[in-house]
Amino acid sequence: MNKKFKNLRIMDNFYQSSSFFPMPLCLVGTLDKNQEGTSFGAYSLCFPYYVAGKDFYAMILETRNSSNTAKGLLRHGKCTLNFIPFTKKNFEQHVLMGFPGDTPEEKMKALTRFTPAEGLRALNDPNNKYPKIIDEAVQVFECTWVKELDNAQDDEVLEEYEGPYHNFNGITSKFGAHFILKIENILLKEKYYDAIVNGVNSKNFCPLPTNWGYRDSKNFWCSNYKKPIAVGIPNREVDLSSIKYALERIDTDVNFTDDALKMIVKVPRPFLKTVLLSCVKWAEDNNCKLITPTEMKIINDKRSKEKSKK
Q: What is the reported pLDDT for 307?
A: 59
CB–CB of 132/29 below 8 Å? yes
pLDDT of residue 81: 98
Q: What is the pLDDT of residue 45?
A: 93
Phi/psi of residue 246, nearest 5 degrees: -65, -35
Q: Which of 143, 71, 78 is nearest to 101 (CA)?
A: 71
The CA–CA distances, whole Å, from 89 to 95, 127, 204, 224 equal 10, 36, 22, 11
pLDDT at 105: 86
Residues of the chain with pLDDT under 70: 1, 233-236, 304-310
Q: What is the pLDDT of residue 293?
A: 93
Q: How many CA atoms lie within 13 A of 213 on its CB side?
A: 14
Instruction: Using alpha carbons only, give the angle 156, 157, 158 rounded to the nearest 5 degrees.
Output: 110
Q: Give pLDDT, residue 182.
A: 98
Task: Look up the pTM and report it.
Answer: 0.79
